[in-house]
Structure formats: structure tokens, C-alpha cells
Structure 1
Amino acid sequence: MSPGQLAAKVQEYPELLLLCDYDGTLVPLAPRPEEAVPGPCLLRLLRQLVSRPGLHLAVISGRTLADLRNLLPVPGLLFAALHGSQVAGPEGPVIDLLPQPPGKNPWPEILGLARQLAAGVPGLLVENKGDGVALHYRLAPPGVAAGILEEFRHALKPFLQEGLELIPGHRVLEVRRRGVNKGLAVTYFTRRWPRAFPVYLGDDRTDEDAFAALPGNGLAIGVGQRQSNYAHCYLASPAEVIEFLQLINRSRTSSL
């Protein structure tokens, strides 16, 4: 379906809830996470969208809240960080949708394991999320990366028996708490605005939980070539996502 066809499908609703993944959806995937930055045109578009009456906009990402706030300094924009476990605006209080369990904090030890395995290996990047650890291997030679990932999985077995899980993504392997997923944030936002027509756009395996959590009237839009079990339709790239959002923005402008 084209961006124009999708925009025509949703713009008739008086109240819209737009929920977007970040990497691979709002911006193209980059070799390094810090290189996936929004351009001025995207920031301008997001500022315009959040100002439209009857339109609510949230970015749901595996990134940390600090990272999202730094990348997208847009007043009125909502965030769900760490795969939906934390919800907040550009400023103000943070809501933990899945409170921390009691007991020892496993993340320093897991972070140390990841860094030890990645040390001296070109192209392996370790991301410390505070409440999670990601091992990026997009830049690493495939043969080398496969061996390191297997060692990482083996070292994590004791932790996986204590409430953690491994989630593969686009050339990244992430450890997170079991029960954390983007569906938590989708449920939170759809309950906050129950009369709004909910739309979710995402490109990754972690977006499947978000698609599945949409109410029965919601629209799940996959981005890119990955096939989804829940997406109702697809946009080819982040560029088409931006075109779709621009059309929504224009329709809201003309209706004022």
C-alpha cells in the first residue's frame, strides 16, 4: 500500500494515536546506533504533528529514555524507552510500566561479559542500556560475529534462568528482562486515549509485540522487507514513513 493510500485510510478519524518505532522506521538503520540521527526536516515534522488537535504521537524504542530525549527534543512528543518499559515526555516524571524485581542487579556482570567478549574484535559494539545490554555486530565479519554470539549465549544461560531473555534484532543481540516488550507501551497509550484510532509503525521483530497489543480496530504497519505475523500492510522504507506522516500532517492542517 502506498503512503497516500494509508494516509487516506486513517485521516478521516477525528482523533489519532500514532505510535512509531525509531531505528529502521523513523530513521534508516545505521552501522552504529549513534549515527542514526534525525534530520532537521524530521524534527520539524514531529513538532508540527504534536501541535495538531486530536493527534497524539509517541516514539516506542529499545533505546534509553535519555537517548530518545537527546535525539528528539520535541515538546509534546511522548516516549516509551527500553522496549516500552518506561514511559515519559520530553521532560517530567518517568513511569515504569514494569517495576524492577527485587534481588541482585545482574546488569553490571552481564555488561562486563559482553565487553570482555567484544574486546579487540573489530566491528563488535556493546551498548549499555542500564536495564539491558545489547551486542551489535553489524560491522563485524559474519564468521567472527557468529562465534562471539554463541559464547555470549552460553555465558548468559544462568541469567536466562532468572528472569532475563535474549532478543535478536537487526544485527544485534539484546538481553532484557522477561516480560518487557513494546506491547506494554501500546496498551498504556491506547488506554490513555481510548477514543483515538491507533496506528503503529515498526520494522523489527520487537515490534511484533506492539502489533499484537493493538486493539481490534488498530492498524499495524510494517516497514521494510521483513514479513510480520501481525502487520496489516507495509511501507517500503523510513522515507515512505515520513511521506505518510507528512500527508497526515497536511490533512490535519487543512481541517483546522
Structure 2
Amino acid sequence: MSGVKPIHLFKALSEIELRMRKAERIIIFTDYDGTLIPTAERPELAVADEELKTLLNNLASNPRIKIIIASGRAIQTLKRLIPLKNVIYAGDHGINVEFPSGEVFTWRKAKLVNPLVEEIYRELSEFFKNERGVIIEKKNSNLSVHYRLLTDFNKIRETVQATYLIVEKCDKNNLLQVFTGSKIVEIRAKGWDKGKVVEIAGRKLKITSRDLVFFIGDDVTDEDGFRKIKPTGVSVIVKNGCERETVAEYFLNDPFELRFFLHNLPLKLVNSNI
């Protein structure tokens, strides 16, 4: 991780606006939970409000703005929580990518990972069946164990330890990796990350050095995206009150600051004569 602390994006707006003036297109990769919307206590409650959907639809209708939502959630879940037009959905940390045309990319090794994820999901569900404070969210090619509802430190520690042990027991071929995030344990495939989403979307969109690429996220899984767009892109971590090491150059405090930035983006484009 970089030893340089990120600066607030709003303090660099003059520089960012200058870069936008020179850019041919604005490409925005963004996480969903904790980035576009505040993290909900339960994952199924993280539904986008009408204001956010209208904002993103308006941005996506601009031919010089491309939006890619890159999330650990499954694509079908993302489309239910935040149904949009003309955006690229990258689910399961980019293992599955759906383009506005309906074309779908799926990582070829997903067929090896998916049955293992299903097995671990069954094991975790059985282990935590009597623990109401633990929520297990199964996607297509990854899992999340949420413990946001737990308040007892020992319970939290036991939950994290048990999750790691169950994954270790089931994953005999070492296909998965485990990350601890903000009150969540993420279980995902090795060999694939959000940096690969930048590659896949980049080829499809024919991103060049004339485009200005943003990658915005709040979690440790977004760090691969931050790295991928360096040194020419704009990497932004959404802190949500959490201080941690990051390779991101800029930060925003919460999803509301991001929304403010996105609301003003069309005005900057018009004024910049892009």
C-alpha cells in the first residue's frame, strides 16, 4: 500500500476539472454498497432511491460519460437494487459482466469456483443457523458473511475465525481467497479482481489515453481497481468513517459527497466544452 495519504477530492476539483476539459470521455467505475449508497444493516435493504437512479440514468445518457457498476453482488441482484439503462454491470467482483447490448462476459474459471461456493454456502448456513446476527449472502461466484448486527466482540471474532476455517476445510485446491472488510468477510475467487473489470470494460469501450477514468469504491476489494487505473486515472476511496491504508489518491467522506460530485459533473462537462 502507498504511504501517501489521499487528499479530499473537493480540494483537487480545479485540477480534476482541467483534466476533464482535456478528456474525450469520462469513464466512471464505481462500487455500489458503501459508495453509491450507505451500507445497509441487511444486504437486501440496500435499494437505490429514485434520486440516485435518475442521476445515474441522466449521466449514462450522455454519450461522453460511461458508467460501470463494479460490485461483489450478483448482476441480477444489482439490477434489482439499482435498475438503470446504458450502464455496464460487473457482478461477483467482475467475474460476470453484462453490457447494455445484452452481451455477457463470464470468466472461464467460474465453472470451477461456483460449485465450491455452493458447498461453502451450505457449510456456513448450517454453522450459523442459530446466530441471528450473521447474514450469509451468496452470489454466483463469491460469498459474503455479514456481521454488522453483532455487537459482542467475542462473537465477532468467533464469526470471522469460523468463516476462515470453513473455507480452509472446503477449498482443498486453493481456488478462493478471503478478505475481512467493514463488518464483512468476503470470499472470492483467486486470479480475478476488480482490476480485471477495468481491462474487460476497457477493451469493450475502447478506452484510450484521451479518456479520463475514475475508479470509486469503499472496500479493500476496490484497491485492485485503484491500482489498475494508475497513474493516469482518478482513484477515489469513500471512507465512511473508516481510516485504513489505501493506494487511492483521493477520498470522499461518504456516498452523499459522491452524489454531490456526480450531480455537478454534467455542469462541469458543459462548462468545459468537452
Normalised by the size of structure 2, how large is the TM-score?
0.85
TM alignment of 1:1-256, pairs within 5 A = 1-3=8-10, 5-6=12-13, 8-12=17-21, 13-89=23-99, 92-100=102-110, 102=112, 105-141=115-151, 142-162=153-173, 163-191=175-203, 192-194=206-208, 195-224=210-239, 225-253=242-270, 255=273
Judge conservation of contact 1:52–1:252 (CA < 8 Å) in 2.
no
CA 1:63–1:5 in structure 2 vs 1: closer, same or farther (change >3 Å)?
A: same
Judge conservation of contact 1:83–1:181 (CA < 8 Å) in 2.
yes
Q: Percent identity?
A: 27
**Larger % of helix: which?**
2
The structural deviation recorded for 1:5 is: 4.0
Does the residue aligned with 1:62 lie in a helix, a strand or coil? coil
CA distance, structure 1, for counterparts of residue 49 and residue 213 of structure 2: 26
User: Across the two proteins, how many residue pairs are aligned to each other?
Assistant: 256
CA 1:91–1:70 in structure 2 vs 1: closer, same or farther (change >3 Å)?
A: farther
Larger deviation, residues 23-32 vs 180-189: 180-189
The structural deviation recorded for 1:4 is: 7.3
CA 1:210–1:149 in structure 2 vs 1: closer, same or farther (change >3 Å)?
A: same
CA 1:9–1:59 in structure 2 vs 1: closer, same or farther (change >3 Å)?
A: farther
**Any stretches of 5+ residues in structure 1 without a counterpart?**
none
CA distance, structure 2, for counterparts of residue 49 and residue 97 of structure 1: 28
Normalised by the size of structure 1, how large is the TM-score?
0.91
Residue type of the alignment partner of 1:235? L
CA distance, structure 2, for counterparts of residue 189 and residue 226 of structure 1: 30
Does the residue aligned with 1:183 lie in a helix, a strand or coil? helix
Larger deviation, residues 100-109 vs 70-79: 100-109
Residue type of the alignment partner of 1:211? F
**Any stretches of 5+ residues in structure 2 without a counterpart?**
1-7
Judge conservation of contact 1:124–1:145 (CA < 8 Å) in 2.
no
Does the residue aligned with 1:105 lie in a helix, a strand or coil? helix
* 1:112-150 Cα distance to aligned partner (Å, 9 max, x none): 111012111121101111212221100023322321321
